[in-house]
Structure 1
Amino acid sequence: MVLDDGSMWGSTKTDSTVERRQFIKALGVGATVGATGVTGAAGQQSEFPSGEIRLIVPWAAGGGTDRTARKLASLAENQTDASYFVTNITGGSGSAGFRRAANAKPDGTTVGVLTVEVCTISHLNISNIRPDDFAPVMQYNFDPASLTVHQDAPYDTVEGFVKHVKNQSGQLAFSNSGIGAIWHLSAAMFAQEAGISNKVKHVGYDGGAPAAKAVASGEVDATTTSAAEVAPLVKDGPLKILGVMGENRVNIFPETKTLQEQGFNVKSGAWRGLGVPVKTPENRVNALNEAFKSVYDSKEFKTFMKNNGFGMVYRSSDEYDQFMQSEYKRFGDLIKTLGIGQ
C-alpha cells in the first residue's frame, strides 16, 4: 500500500492474504497483553496500544536497521494481539523518518526506530531533530566501529598502526560511509585519542561496504566501518581487523581485541533502539518496553542477531534516555572540534 507521502508500508507477514487480514484486524481490533494489560516495574498498570503498531524505519528496506526492525515486529506480533507494520521513510540522513515518528499521534501506535544519527544530525545542521523529541522505549543494538586495514599491512595491533602513522611523512587515508556519518566520527574520535589527527585524512564513500572495498583495492589505508560490513573481506581476505571500538569483543570475531584492551580509550559505533513521540503516556511506553524486551530476550531474536552479525545491547527506557543525552553531547563536542556542519 502506498501512503499519502509516497512511501510504502510493509507488513511483517509475507503472504498477501495474511497481510490483508492483518490490516483489517488492525483497523478494528484492540490489542492487549493479557486480559488486563501488563504491570510495569514501578507497579503501575501498563496499557498496551490498541490495533495497529507501526514501526517507522528511517533507512531503506533491506539494510540492517530495516531487517532488525522487521524481526522485532514479526516476533512481537506472535506475542501480542496487535498487528505490526514497518514503514520505510528515508531521506535527510534519517531525519525524514525521525520527524515522522516524532510528530505522530502520541498514543504508542507509532514507534520510531532510532539510530545514532538522532544524536548527530542537529549538530550537523541537517535537521533540528534530537533525542528530546522522543520518549525512549529501549535500546536493542550496538555495533562498534572496527579499525580495519589490508592484510599485508606491516602491523597487527592498534599500537603498531599508530606508530606507523606517526612515522609517515605524509597523511594516511581513512575511508568511511560519508563525512559526518558515524564511521567518520568514530575514526576522528580514535585519531584524537591516538594523537594522530594531523596525520590522517578522511575520505567519504557511499556506505560502509564501498569504504571497505577501498581498503582492499589500495585506494585508502584503513577504514572504520562495522565488523559485519568488513566481515566478508576479512574472512576470505584481503583485510584484517586490528581492533573494535566497543566495551566488548564482537561475536563474529571473538579473537579480535577491543581498543580499550589495547590501551586506547575509544568507544564508538552505530546503535539502534525504539522511541515514541515525547508526549506519549508513560503507561504506553512501559507496555511497549515490556513487549519488545520480551522479544529481545527470546531465543529467536538472539539467534537472528548473532547469525547476522548484529551486536545486542539492552538499555531500559530511562537508561536509553541517559545514553542518548550523553551521546548527543559527546558527538556535539566532537563535531564542533572537527569544524563540520557549520
Structure 2
Amino acid sequence: MHIGRTIAFIGAIAAAVSVPMSGLLAEEFPSKPVQLVVPFKPGGGSDISARIFAKYASKYLPQKVIVTNIDGARGRTAELEVKRARPDGYMVLWQHQNIHMSVATGRSKYDYTAFDPVASTVRTDTALVVAKNSPLKTVADLNAVAKAKPGTIRWGAAINGFSHFAYLAYLEAVGLDEKHFHTIGMSGDQDRVIAMLQGNLDVAIIALSAARPFLDSGDIVMLGVMADERSEAYPNLPTLREQGINAPFYFDYMSFVPKGTPPERVKILREAWLKAIADPECRTELLKGWMIPTDIAGPKFDEYLKKQLKLFVDLAKKYHLVEEEAK
C-alpha cells in the first residue's frame, strides 16, 4: 500500500512538471507583455523607432509590447541577454546592422543565425554631409579634391562602427581608398556635426534623422542620401545614386527572438509586426520622424540578412578591421 501510494505520488508530480514544458505551445500567446529589447540608451534612433513601433504592435497582440533598454558593449549586452533568454517569444531583440558589424570585426563569435528572425520593419537613411561654409558643394567636388590633394580632407567616423563601414562603402563605390582622406575617429552623430561647425572636420556620414535639425537650421549641407531612391518622408532630398554613386547604406531596425522559439509564436509576432507597420497611423508617425516603414520578412528577410552579413565581412577583411580576440 505504501509503495503504491509513493509511485502514484511521484507520477502526479511528474505529470504536473511536464505540463509547463508541453504547455508552451498550448497556452495562449502572448499571455503577458512582450519585451522589445533596445541595445542602446533611451533617446537615440534605436529607442525612438522602437517606442513608436511598439505602440502600434501592441494593437495587434492581446498583450502590450514594452520597450526595455539594455545598454552596454556596443549593443552586445542586450544581444546576449536575448540570446540566453528562454525561447518563449516574450523577449525580442530590436537591433540594426550592428549585429553584422560585431561579428565582422571579431568583437563577437556569433552572427544573426544565433537567433530566429522575426522581421525588419523600420529603416533610417544615412547622409553625406559637410559644414555650411564648406567649399565642397557636391560629391564631385569632394572626390576631385581627394584625388588632387590626398589626405587633406578630414573625414569623421566611428572606427569599426556603422559610420566607418558606411564610409568604406562610399570609398568602394567611387573607387577611392583611405589614403585619399584623413580619417578621424569620432563616435556619435552630434559630435561629428559639432566638430564640423567648429571647423575641425570636413565631411561625415550621419543618420539623416540626426542631421535633420542641423539641415533645417542651415548649419550643415547634405551632399546626398545613401539610398536607392528618394523617400516619401523627404522627397526633395537627392540621393547619391542620382549623382552616379551606387552606395546605399541603411540603418535597418530588425527583430529577433532566441533560437528555438516555437515557430507558432514567431509567426504570431511576425504577423503582428507586419500589421503594425501597415497601420496608416504608424506609417505617418514614422515618416514624420524621417523613419521609413519596411516590411521585410520570411525568405526575403533571410536572403537580406545573408547579403548584409557578407557585405560587412568583406569590408572588414579588405580594410583590416578584424580584431584578434572575440569575446
The alignment's TM-score, normalised by the length of structure 2, stands at 0.85
Q: Shift of residue 252 of structure 1?
A: 5.1
Q: Which runs of 5+ in 1 are unaligned?
A: 1-29, 31-35, 38-46
Q: Shift of residue 251 of structure 1?
A: 4.5
Give the structure 2 partner of residue 138 of structure 1.
Answer: 119
Aligned mate of 1:248, from 223, 229, 240: 229
1:223 aligns with 2:175: no
1:192 aligns with 2:192: no
Paired letter, 1:249: R
* In 2: Cα distance, 1:228 partner to 1:193 partner: 23
Give the structure 1 partner of residue 262 of structure 2.
Answer: 281
Paired letter, 1:130: D
Give the structure 1 partner of residue 304 of structure 2.
Answer: 323
Task: Please list every run of at least 4 consecutive aligned residues from structure 1 whose deviation after the TM superposition is greater than 3 angstroms.
Answer: 250-253
1:156 aligns with 2:144: no
Aligned mate of 2:93, from 100, 105, 112: 112
1:172 aligns with 2:132: no
Q: Shift of residue 332 of structure 1?
A: 0.6
* In 2: Cα distance, 1:61 partner to 1:211 partner: 20
Q: Shift of residue 266 of structure 1?
A: 0.8
- 2:261 counterpart SS class: coil
Give the structure 1 partner of residue 216 of structure 2.
Answer: 235
Counterparts of 1:23-38 in structure 2 under 5 Å?
Answer: none
Q: Which runs of 5+ in 2 are unaligned?
A: 1-22
Deviates more, 1:52-61 or 1:70-79: 70-79
Task: Give the aligned length.
Answer: 298
Q: Shift of residue 253 of structure 1?
A: 3.9
* In 2: Cα distance, 1:77 partner to 1:251 partner: 26
Give the structure 1 partner of residue 186 of structure 2.
Answer: 205
1:72 aligns with 2:40: no
Deviations 1:36-77 (A, max 9, x none): 99xxxxxxxxx7433221111111112221122222222222
Paired letter, 2:235: P
- 1:159 counterpart SS class: helix
- 1:163 counterpart SS class: helix
Give the structure 1 partner of residue 77 of structure 2.
Answer: 96
Paired letter, 2:78: G
Query: Is 1:99–1:129's contact at 8 Å kept on the other side of the alignment?
Result: no
Q: Shift of residue 169 of structure 1?
A: 4.9
* In 2: Cα distance, 1:106 partner to 1:131 partner: 15
Give the root-mean-square deviation of aligned CA atoms.
2.1
* In 2: Cα distance, 1:317 partner to 1:89 partner: 27
* In 2: Cα distance, 1:329 partner to 1:127 partner: 15
Q: Shift of residue 219 of structure 1?
A: 0.7
Deviations 1:166-192 (A, max 9, x none): 12254311112x211111110111022
Counterparts of 1:265-304 in structure 2 under 5 Å?
Answer: 265-304=246-285
* In 1: Cα distance, 2:110 partner to 2:75 partner: 10
- 1:224 counterpart SS class: strand
* In 2: Cα distance, 1:277 partner to 1:234 partner: 40
* In 2: Cα distance, 1:82 partner to 1:107 partner: 15
Give the structure 2 partner of residue 337 of structure 1.
Answer: 318
Q: Shift of residue 323 of structure 1?
A: 1.1
Query: Is 1:56–1:87's contact at 8 Å kept on the other side of the alignment?
Result: yes
* In 1: Cα distance, 2:150 partner to 2:116 partner: 49
* In 1: Cα distance, 2:224 partner to 2:175 partner: 17
Deviations 1:64-94 (A, max 9, x none): 2112222222222233221322211111111
Give the structure 1 partner of residue 9 of structure 2.
Answer: none
Q: Which has the higher helix share?
A: 2
Give the structure 2 partner of residue 16 of structure 1.
Answer: none
Query: Is 2:95–2:253's contact at 8 Å kept on the other side of the alignment?
Result: yes
Give the structure 2 partner of residue 26 of structure 1.
Answer: none
Q: Which structure ranks higher in relative contact order (CA pairs < 8 Å, sequence separation ≥ 6)?
A: 2
* In 2: Cα distance, 1:82 partner to 1:221 partner: 48
* In 2: Cα distance, 1:112 partner to 1:149 partner: 34
Q: Which has the higher Rg, Structure 1 or Structure 2?
A: 2
The alignment's TM-score, normalised by the length of structure 1, stands at 0.81
Q: Shift of residue 274 of structure 1?
A: 0.8
* In 1: Cα distance, 2:175 partner to 2:152 partner: 13
Query: Is 1:215–1:222's contact at 8 Å kept on the other side of the alignment?
Result: yes
* In 2: Cα distance, 1:166 partner to 1:252 partner: 34
- 1:230 counterpart SS class: helix
